[in-house]
Amino acid sequence: MEFSGTDRHEREARIAMVLVSLPLPPLPVLACRGEDAADGVCSSHDLHAVMMATDMQRAAQGAVTPEQHQNRRLRKCALINKLCDDVRELLATADLDDGRTCDRCYGLVCDGLRAYWAEYAHACEDVRVRELDTVIKGDVVYGHMLAYVRAHLGAEPGAADAQSYRALFKFFVRGAFLGE
């Protein structure tokens, strides 16, 4: 992503556009919060947005050569392609409505996020993602997932698809990887 300006609104718009376009939905990530560094959970999209903003700032300041930037972009594209191939391969032989298959899809998406984040300058190597069923309706991560699904798929989930984070994740997988 090329970025040379310093306009915060433009930067935030670009970041939102990229987050919505990637097949990496908001995931519940463990994070340290506050002065006492207590464990907490935040949306992976919040952390990802900070990583992207930092990356954009580094590029604007010349801390990254165009060649380095392009090579990182190509590695990220390869990782996204691998994620999509892995999920589609799994779903070609398994039923998403089976709880184990849904959990395996979730695991692939979590692994894809970790690999993608490792390409940033701060190389997050210890990304801890909470289990699928730890997110409850009303959580920040649930709200981010609902907004992401609407934007990424361009579809409104039905009541059954929005009853839980797991149901939203399955709705996302069906739309993003199966084209349903």
pLDDT at 132 (0 to 100): 94
Average pLDDT, the chain: 90
Domain edges within the chain: 8-177
Cα-Cα-Cα-Cα torsion 9, 109, 144, 51, nearest 10 degrees, comes to -30
pLDDT digits 0-9 by tens, 93-123:
999 999 899 999 999 999 999 999 999 877 6
The pTM for the full model equals: 0.90
pLDDT in tens, 120-150: 877 666 789 999 999 999 899 999 999 999 9
Q: Which residues pair with 29 in a beta bridge?
A: 42, 129
Answer whether residue 16 shows pLDDT above 50: yes
Quick one: pLDDT at residue 8?
Answer: 81
Mean pLDDT, range 3-23, rounded to an integer: 83
The answer to whether the CB of 22 falls within 8 A of the CB of 172 is no
CA atoms within 13 A on the CB side of 67: 0
pLDDT band at 1 (very low <50, low <70, confident <90, very high): very low
Best mean pLDDT range from 27-41, 55-69, 141-155: 141-155
Q: In terms of Cα–Cα distance, which of 3, 27, 4 is closest to 17?
A: 3
